[in-house]
Amino acid sequence: MGRAGIPLGLETWTYLPLFKTYLESLGQTVVINKPTNKSLVELGSEAIVDETCLPCKIEAGAALILDGQVDYIFLPRLVSIARGLTNCPKMISMPDLLRARCKSEVIDPTVDIRRDPKSLLRAVRETGALFTRDGHKVYEAWQKAVHAYRCYRNLLKNHLMPKEAIEVLSGKKAPEFHPDKGQLKIALIGHNYNLNDSFSSFNLVNRLREKGLFVYTPDALSEHIINRMNRTMEKQIFWIHERKILGAAFYYIRRKMVDGIISVTSFNCGTSAVTNEFIGYEAEKAHIPLLSLIVDEHTAEAGVKTRIEAFANLMKWKHGGI
Amino acid sequence: MCPKEKITFPHMGNLYIGTSTLFSELGYEVIAPPSITQETIRRGSLHAPESMCVPFKYVLGNFLEALDKGAETIFMAGGIGPCRFGLYGHTAKLILGKLGYEPKFVIIEPPSGRWIKFSLKVLNLAHWKIRKIKPSILWAVSKMEITDWIEEELYMKRIAIEPKKRLAEKLYRRYVDRIFKAGSYEELSKIKNDAIEEYDSTIPAVPNRDDIVDIELTGEIFILLEPFANMEIVRRLGELGVRVSRTSSSTKWIKERILTYLSKETPEKSHERAIRKARPWMKVPFGGEGIETIGHTVEAAEKGLDAIIQVMPFSCMPEVSAKDILPQVAKDVGIPFYSFIFDEHAGGAGFQTRLESFVERVRDNKIRKLKPGKKTTPVVN
């Protein structure tokens, strides 16, 4: 029985039910840190290099908060999760950067499908072997984990935010779906670790929903739509998250599904600098208004609030609402 | 006879010597972009995405200037990630399209399994002159090899001794011109002999004095090789009495990553060695030259150099991660290090001050290590 710490940041937003169910089925206790707040960000930005982006600082802060409370920190290193795809360099190097700082052990099973197609299987086996000798138990745990992940994805596809979906999965409350009542629609384009983190996105999703807008996120699209949209690009984008964002933006724009787009980027994010250029071009062609928000560790809420309000009004006005 | 296709390519240090030679051998009319100036970076950063890394802005500036000179085709290398370099060509294509330019882009990417597509692309670029490809590449590489050899072994090592008259630099420029115009292998070897003789007679090799320190430059390859982008860090260090070396050069890069496909021998390549050396701190490569920077720091300490300087463009993803772990690595292996981040700004004074203070500290350290208890004095030139 060990206590595993999963820092809430970066890839955790995509795979939390998978990691959690897998570790719990193997008899571990999973500790997840509380949602990001100001002191966590301060801790993280002091620990890690200044030039990196906000999500990395949050990840470092989360790991350092968990450091004393747990036996080990579980932080899989997803170098590549499909052929031709790779992760951002900062995320690939993150387990090593945190290992140099944390007192507890960092367990980082590496998945690199591009170099070795069997690496996922090996990562699952090796992680399981740390906790049990029973191969069958590992297999069952993995089956359960994949099932939990599929349920999670299905909830996300029904426009639930990860936080809500996790609560539903753990049985705390019944799912509350957000029906399409013909209201104005907005696409919130950005990394899921920015959009879902209440600190870095200033709770953008809830704010927009309170204004009566229907919010689309990249998480709500299935894998094959993303792939289909990406195939229209001359050069395939090779970053996992950027591919998802770009595919989603293209889909919402080309289908004319939305009345406006808000793109949320963290300052100094290298990958977004490239894809935002492509998304901006596409939105310009389709005459869809685009608001680009860049977030960092500052906490001035008023500026973001004003801009969102102005943008929402612009959308309504364009639609003849005001 | 149809007119020759006008081809251009981005600048990176002395790379133009190789690329120009290669394409004129293959029957193109080469329109090299004018060498990088303040105007290049101004035009580049005007149209590039603002948070893009600085090499892209230089590349875009090069393309704009070359297209104004009449180039029709753009040659560019590509990549498969995770570094942003892999998408440079396609982003540039989009931006140039918005500005009304419609050049033909030839972007050569590593094959990563798709050998047929790759070979077709290369053959098309070479106008199907199959027999000419290998000799032209070898000829271009041997030209660059000599240029890099003169730069690294003669210019960078000897600039420390007579910095005021900039003799070493003038000689170096003259030899680069001669190599560029050279037409045969015999001429090249003659140039090499001439260079050794002339350097030996005017600027003798720097003796191993206590006050001469050895500093190695490492980091992102574009900033490392392009003197305009790194604010002539080699010259500035040389004037401070430093024997400079650097961890990568374009010749090394091409030889180790491209020419290995043409030859059968596979000795351990320098980047593989660096990855091995970096393993205690970083388990997997994470794109760009990030892990090499860590490995080269370890190697520099093993070679007994006095300090290492990491140069990188602002917001470079791999180098930022490397910078994060470098203080730990440098402490563990015992070598002073400094990181310089470059962007499109060109304020030389602040840079000079920081270089001077760093070099003084390194020199102090060295003298104190050699002669414990001796009072150190500010030195030289």
Contact partners, residue A170, CB within 8 Å, separation at least 6: none
State mean pLDDT over B92-121: 86
A155 and A8 within one domain: yes
Residue at B247: amino acid letter: T
Does residue B307 sit in the same domain as residue B176? no
Task: Please check the confidence at residue B162 and state whether its pLDDT lies above 70.
Answer: no
Q: What is the DSSP string of B94-105?
A: HHHHHTT--PEE
In a domain, B181, yes or no: yes
Q: What per-residue confidence (pLDDT) applies to B380? A: 47
Answer yes or no: do A161 and A295 share one domain: no
A window 154-213, beta carbon within 8 A of B:
none
| Backbone phi and psi for residue A176, each to the nearest 5 degrees, phi listed first | -115, 105
Q: Touching check for A87 and chain B: CB below 8 Å? A: yes
B19 shares a domain with B151: no
Q: What is the interface pTM, i.e. ipTM, of the complex?
A: 0.88
Provide the CATH number for the domain around residue B216.
3.40.50.11900
Q: Which residues of A touch B311 (CB under 8 A)?
A: none
What tokens appear for A248 in the block?
Answer: 């989603």
Q: Does any CB of chain A come closer than 8 Å to the CB of residue B111? A: no
Q: Give me B136's structure tokens.
A: 């032209």
Residue A261 and residue A147 share a domain: no
Instruction: Let me know if residue B1 belongs to a domain.
Output: no
Q: What are A98's two structure tokens?
A: 């945190």
Q: Are residues A201 and A142 in the same domain?
A: no
Q: Does some domain include residue A178? A: no
> Which pLDDT belongs to residue A316?
83
Determine which of A46, A93, A126 to mutate to test the interface with B (most B C-beta atoms within 10 Å).
A93
Domain shared by A111 and A193, yes or no:
no
**How far apart are the CA of B174 and the nearest CA of chain A, in angstroms?**
39
Domain count, chain B: 3
**Residue with the two structure tokens 């070598």:** B335
- Can you name the residues that pair with B245 across neighbouring β-strands? B216
Q: What is the mean pLDDT of residues A100-122?
A: 88
Please tell me the predicted confidence (pLDDT) of residue B376.
Answer: 56
Least Cα distance to A259 among A286, A281, A293 occurs for A286
Same domain, yes or no: A154 and A216: no
Range of the domain at B310: 207-381
Does residue B108 sit in the same domain as residue B181?
no
CA distance A64 to chain B (A): 16
Q: What angle do CA A82, A265, B314 make, to 5 degrees?
A: 90
Residue with more model confidence, A71 or B253:
A71
Q: Which amino acid does the sequence have at B40?
A: T
Looking at the complex, report in whole angstroms how far the Cα of residue B281 sits from the nearest Cα belonging to chain A.
7
CB contact under 8 A, A86 and B341: no
For a pLDDT cut of 70, what percent of chain B falls above it? 94
Residue B310 is predicted with a pLDDT of 92
Q: Do A270 and B90 touch (CB under 8 A)?
A: no
Q: Is residue B274 part of a domain?
A: yes
Same domain, A227 and A145: no
A263 touches chain B (CB under 8 A): no
Q: Does B325 touch chain A (CB under 8 A)?
A: yes
Q: Same domain, yes or no, for A124 and A249?
A: no
Average of per-residue pLDDT across B191-208: 81
Q: Report helix, strand and coil shares of chain B as percent, to nearest 5.
A: 55, 10, 35
3-state secondary structure A22-84: HHHHCCCEEEECCCCCHHHHHHHHHHCCCCCCHHHHHHHHHHHHHHCCCCEEECCEEEECCCC
The count of structural domains within chain A is: 2
Does B167 reach chain A within 8 Å, measured CB to CB? no
Nearest to A165 by CA among A155, A157, A174: A155
Q: Is residue A302 part of a domain?
A: yes
Bridge partners, A52 (sequence order): none
In-domain check, residue B133 = no
Bridge partners of B79, per DSSP, are none
Residue-wise pLDDT for A243-271, tens only, equals 999 999 999 999 888 888 999 998 888 88
In eight-state DSSP terms, residue B269 is: P
A86 lies within 8 A of chain B by CB: yes
Same domain? For A261 and A120 the reply is no
Q: Which two tokens stand for residue B173?
A: 């420029």
Last residue of a domain, one of B174, B203, B232: B203
pLDDT tens-digit readout, B164-181: 667 788 888 888 888 888
Look-up of token digits 């005017």: B202
Co-location of B186 and B216 in the same domain: no
Asked whether residue B51 falls in the same domain as residue B169, the answer is no
Residue B220 lies in a domain: yes
Is the Cβ–Cβ distance between B82 and A90 less than 8 Å? Answer: no
Confidence class of residue B381 from pLDDT cuts 50, 70 and 90? very low
Question: How does residue B263 score in pLDDT terms, banded at 50, 70 and 90?
Answer: low
Does B74 share its domain with B143?
A: no
Instruction: Closest CB to A238: pick one of B49, B86, B95.
Output: B86
Helix H or strand E encompassing A234: none
Mean pLDDT of A284-303: 86
| A96 at B interface, C-beta within 8 A | yes
The reply to whether B120 and B178 lie within a common domain is no
Residue B340 CA to chain centroid, in angstroms?
15
Last-in-domain residue among A169, A194, A218: A169
Question: If you write DSSP's letter for every residue of A39-53 in order, what string do you get?
Answer: HHHHHHHHHS-TTS-
Q: Given this model, what pLDDT does residue B80 score?
A: 81
Taking the alpha carbons of B68, B69, B75, B77 in that order, is the dihedral positive or negative?
A: negative
CATH code, domain with A294: 3.40.50.11900
A158 shares its domain with A231: no
* Residues B11 and B108 grouped into a single domain: yes
Question: Could you report the per-residue pLDDT of B286-304, keeping only the tens digit for each?
Answer: 887 888 899 999 999 998 8
Q: Which residues pair with B340 in a beta bridge?
A: B311
pLDDT average, residue stretch B235-260: 83
Peptide bond into A95 cis (omega under 30): no
Of B154, B218, B236, B145, the closest CA to residue B182 belongs to B145
Cβ atoms of B6 and B73 closer than 8 Å: yes
Residue B105 in contact with partner chain A when CB distance is under 8 A = no
In a domain, A177, yes or no: no
Q: A145 and A200 in one domain?
A: no
Cα of B49 to nearest chain A Cα, Å: 6
B12 shares a domain with B80: yes
A196 and A293 assigned to the same domain? yes
| Least confident window among A108-122, A234-248, B265-279 | B265-279
Judging contacts by C-beta atoms under 8 Å, the chain A residues touching residue B93 are 234
Q: What is the pTM of this model?
A: 0.90
**Best B50, B80, B286 residue to mutate vs chain A (most A CBs within 10 Å):** B286
B315:A278 CB<8 A:
no
% of chain B surpassing 90 pLDDT: 13
Q: Rounded to whole angstroms, how far apart are CA atoms B267 and B102?
A: 43
Q: Are A196 and A162 in contact (CB under 8 A)?
A: yes
| Angstrom distance (rounded) from CA B270 to CA B268 | 7
In the predicted model, what is the mean pLDDT of chain B? 85
Q: Which positions ≥6 away from A312 have C-beta within 8 Å?
A: A184, A186, A208, A211, A213, A260
Count of pairs with CB atoms under 8 A, one residue in A, one in B = 116
Which of A140-144, B191-195, B196-200 is modeled with the greatest confidence?
Answer: A140-144
Q: Supply the range of the domain harboring residue A45.
A: 3-169
- The answer as to whether A179 is a domain residue is no
Q: Do both B187 and B267 map to the same domain?
A: no
Please determine, for residue A146, whether its predicted confidence score (pLDDT) is greater than 90. Answer: yes
Residues B285 and B241 in one domain: yes
Reference A174, options A158, A198, A194; nearest CA is A158
Residues B233 and B181 in one domain: no
